[in-house]
Amino acid sequence: MRAGRALPGGGAEDRGWVDSALCAQTDPEGFFPERGGSTRTARRVCLACEVRVECLEYALENDERFGVWGGLGERERRRLRRASGEAGGLP
């Protein structure tokens, strides 16, 4: 059996979402492709993931720079962070 994606460890109450992470059951390479590689498959997995919002919040709060989190890639999260900074922060 192939190991799934490595996600933040448990322990903290706000990381309960990790137990429901769909990507933990899939090929982790799709979430961290080589430069120029496709993230299409990973994003599709995210669309079906019930903890997408929590995952994206975690990535934004912890400044995760690499990979797909909550269905968004690195550039998209950077844009979102910038936009939320201009708007006075994330809600």
List of residues contacting ligand SF4 (CB under 6 A): 21-23, 31, 45-46, 49, 51-52, 55, 68-71
Whether residue 82 is annotated as binding a ligand: the answer is no
Q: Which is nearer to ligand SF4, 34 or 86 (CB)?
A: 34
Please say which residue, 8 or 36, places its beta carbon nearer to ligand SF4.
8
Instruction: Measure the CA–CA gap between 69 and 66, rounded to whole angstroms.
Output: 9
Instruction: Determine whether the annotation assigns residue 46 to a binding site.
Output: yes
DSSP string, 29-85: GGGSPPTT---HHHHHHHHT-TTHHHHHHHHHHTT--SS-BTTB-HHHHHHHHHHHH
Extract the annotated binding site for [4Fe-4S] cluster.
Answer: 23, 46, 49, 55
Extract the annotated binding site.
Answer: 23, 46, 49, 55
